[in-house]
Chains A and B, each alone.
Chain A
Amino acid sequence: MSDDAVRDELLRLENVDAWYGTAQALFGVSLSVPRGGVVALLGRNGAGKSTTLRSIMRIEVRTRGEISYAGRDLTRAGTTGVARLGIGYVPEDRRIFGRMTVRENLLLGRHLARGDREPLPLTEILDTFPMLVPLLDRLGGVLSGGEQQLLAVARALVGRPELMLLDEPSEGLAPLTLRQVRTAIQSAHDAFGATVLLAEQNATFALSLAQRVAVIDTGRIVFTGATEELRARPELMSRYLGVESAGAAAGTGS
């Protein structure tokens, strides 16, 4: 398994430093996402999860170190170029276009598709996200937080990304909505074959989806390994993620 993963590595960060202006936010972050995998990036508030994703997307931060996708150097590209390689990004505040309808928001996702990656027809997306159907002609700005989150995931999927970067999709969601979002991510992976890098604070939620985990704290990676390995280390869970018992983290599923 782990040998395959190294050989078929889709995204790779090697010793990445990142700065906002003069303030350094990442220190030597290394991360590897195997093709077809679901990797969780866990850490508490301000740990550097969003910064890691922004470094990949070339948004706001300046970086040093290697960031490559399918063997291509991303540090020389712009945000548009990175996205067009087939990376779907769901930022932490969802960034739905408030004055456009849900339909238009979804259609905007098509720009991601290039060359042989045809965009998904809306019907196909709506099969996976049936709750969006009645909302199609509403303005994005009036949707609830949960609906916006689903829309953001759906929008990123329209361009048939090979890699999805999800920034705290669980944030502020009620358990029922959380389950919908979880199903959506699951089907992005299972049905549409996307590789997923999931930044999360909610360990329970993330570990239920991920095969591999990296834990980040104050801009440094403090743990990488398989999900079970992290579960087996309650002291890490409580120290970096505030999860008090390993049982709690293992307790959810389906």
Chain B
Amino acid sequence: MSLLLLTSGLAQGMILFLAASGLTLVFGVMGVLNFAHGGFFALGAFIVYSLTGGASIPAWQYLLLSVVGAGLVGVVGMAFEVVVFRRIYHLPHLDALLATYAVLLTITGAITQIWGVAARGQPMPSEFRSALRFGDAVVPVYDIALLVIGGLVAVGLWFLLERTTFGRSVRAISADRQMSASLGIDIKVVFTVMLGLGLGLAGLGGALVAPLVQLDAGLAAVFVIQSFAVVIVGGLGSIAGALVAALALGLLNSIMVSIDPALAGFSLYIGMTVVLLIRPQGIFGHRAERP
């Protein structure tokens, strides 16, 4: 396998991971598979487009604005938690799914309302457009940047969940909501923060994808399904699973495309189907300790 194939596959995988990590995080804690996730992903892309004014800006500024945009999306996410999602958690799976689908439609519509129907284009910062040479191989700088950022997010999430008091509360809540409340953990606050974090990550994913795609409201529906595929292959609620699944699916896709360009996009749904048939709880999934 060529180095280019490897890095571009992994970079695609990192985008998938950024899109899916927040989704799996939110599912792990709230137990709701959130269609609206894609809406916040798209929102991240559009917000960064507005922040940069659609201009080509230096790479460091672009990264900074991406983080700012992600933060804004996170804040919008927290507002949504308080106003809408709070009313959804206790619903049966299908109803919850439909309610989040309604939110997805709402956000998609809001994006059209704000940014119009015409597709926008976010120019890639010029530093990212160049490529690094390793012997014979050429690797785009942006692919490397995506790998680094995805890696940082993965490590950061691991640290937050496994090494902090807040993370311990999060794990407790996802294992046993009732007992956590009985111990005095404030479920509502944790939920609001987690949704802010999860949707903020979606926003970051959107911001980093912006230079690679055409920006229109349809982005939301496309990426939420790709995120679904990743979290289902990885195991609902598992961050490590999402990372492994995203990288594997990204790699698989880049290999399949190198064989025949017509195979683009298949790896996700084939992976999803195979995993659901063979191991419905996903690679890293385990059955919940308690509902």
Q: A residues bordering B, Cβ < 8 Å?
A: 57, 59-60, 78-80, 83-84, 89, 91, 95, 97-100, 104, 107-109, 111-114, 155-156, 159
16 further contact pairs, Cβ within 8 A, besides A80-B188, A95-B178, A98-B175: A59-B181, A60-B178, A78-B181, A80-B184, A83-B184, A91-B182, A95-B182, A97-B171, A97-B179, A100-B171, A108-B168, A111-B183, A111-B185, A112-B183, A113-B184, A159-B184
Q: Which residues of B lie under 8 Å from residue A91 when comparing CB positions?
A: 179, 182
Complex: A210 Cα to B180 Cα, angstroms: 28
Across the interface, do A80 and B176 meet the contact criterion of CB distance under 8 Å? no
Check if B182 sits within 8 Å of A83, measured CB to CB: yes
With A95-B176, A99-B289, A107-B168 known as contacts, the answer to whether A57 contacts B183 (CB < 8 A) is: no
Contact status B184-A111, CB under 8 Å = yes
Q: Which B163-195 residues have a C-beta within 8 angstroms of A?
A: 165, 168-169, 171-172, 175-176, 178-188
User: CB-nearest residue of chain A relative to B171?
Assistant: A100
**A99 and chain B: residue at smallest CB distance:** B175
16 contacts between A and B (CB under 8 A): A78-B181, A79-B178, A79-B182, A80-B186, A80-B187, A83-B181, A83-B183, A95-B176, A95-B179, A95-B182, A97-B172, A99-B289, A100-B171, A108-B172, A108-B183, A159-B183
Q: Are B172 and A80 in contact (CB under 8 A)?
A: no
CB–CB A57/B182 < 8 A: yes
Contact at B168–A109, with CB atoms within 8 Å? no
Does A80 contact B181, Cβ atoms closer than 8 Å? yes
Write out the residue numbers on chain A whose beta carbons fall within 8 Å of the beta carbon of B169: 108, 111
Shortest beta-carbon contacts, A-B, top 9: A79-B181, A83-B184, A111-B184, A112-B184, A95-B179, A89-B182, A84-B184, A80-B181, A111-B185
* B residues near A107, Cβ cutoff 8 Å: 165, 168
Chain B contacts of A108 at CB under 8 A? 168-169, 172, 180, 183, 185
Measured between C-beta atoms, what is the minimum distance from B69 to chain A in Å?
Answer: 33
Number of residues of chain B lying within 8 A (CB) of chain A? 20
User: How does the 8 Å CB contact mask read for B260-291 relative to A, with 1 for contact and 0 for none?
Assistant: 00000000000000000000000000000110
- How far in angstroms is the closest Cβ of chain B from A159? 6
Residues of chain A within 8 A (CB-CB) of B171 are 97, 99-100
CA distance A89 to B188 in the complex (A): 20
- A residues in contact with B290, CB < 8 Å: 95
Contact of A155 with B183 in the complex, beta carbons under 8 Å: yes
Q: Which residue of B lies closest to A109 (CB)?
A: B183
Question: Complex Cα distance A80/B184, Å?
Answer: 5
Q: Which chain A positions have C-beta within 8 A of B178?
A: 59-60, 79, 95
Q: Which residues of B contact A83 (CB under 8 A)?
A: 181-184
Is the pair A97, B182 in contact by a Cβ cutoff of 8 Å? no
Task: Contact check, A104 vs B184: say whether CB atoms are below 8 A apart.
Answer: no
Q: B61-102: which have CB < 8 Å to A?
A: none
CB-based contact A104/B187 at 8 Å? no
- For B172, the chain A residues whose CB sits under 8 A away are 97, 100, 108
Nearest A residue to B181 via CB reads: A79
- B176 and chain A: residue at smallest CB distance: A95
A78 CB → nearest B CB, Å: 7
Nearest neighbor of A112 in chain B, beta-carbon distance: B184
Task: Write out the residue numbers on chain B whose beta carbons fall within 8 Å of the beta carbon of A155.
Answer: 183
CB distance from A152 to the nearest CB of B (A): 10
List, in ascending order, chain B residues with CB within 8 A of A156's CB. Answer: 183
How far, in Å, is B230 (CB) from chain A's closest CB? 23
B165 contacts across to A, CB distance below 8 A: 107
Chain B 143-168 per-residue mask, 1 if CB under 8 angstroms from chain A, else 0: 00000000000000000000001001
Residues of the A chain whose Cβ atoms lie less than 8 Å from the Cβ of B187: 80
Which residues does chain B contribute within 8 Å of A112, judged by CB atoms?
A: 183-184
Q: Which of chain B's residues have a CB closer than 8 A to the CB of A84?
A: 184
A78: nearest chain-B partner, CB-CB: B181
| Contact between B185 and A80, CB atoms less than 8 A apart | yes
If the complex has contacts A97-B176, A100-B168, A107-B168, are A59 and B182 also in contact, measured as CB distance less than 8 A? yes
What chain B residues lie within 8 Å of A109 (beta carbons)?
183
User: Across the two chains, which residue of chain B brings its CB closest to A155?
Assistant: B183
Minimal beta-carbon separation of A174 from chain B (angstroms): 25
Query: In the complex the two chains form, what is the Cα distance from A79 to B181 in whole Å?
Result: 6
Question: In the complex, what distance in Å separates the CA atom of A114 from the CA atom of B179?
Answer: 18
* Minimum CB–CB distance for A188 against chain B, Å: 16
Residues in A neighbouring B179, C-beta threshold 8 A: 91, 95, 97
Please name all residues of chain B whose beta carbon is closer than 8 Å to the beta carbon of A60 when the two chains form the complex.
Answer: 178
Whole-angstrom distance from the CB of B185 to the nearest CB of chain A?
5
Tell me the minimal C-beta distance from B90 to chain A in angstroms: 13
| B171, chain A: closest CB distance, angstroms | 7
A126-B206 Cα distance, complex, nearest whole Å: 49
**Nearest residue in B to A90 (C-beta to C-beta)?**
B182
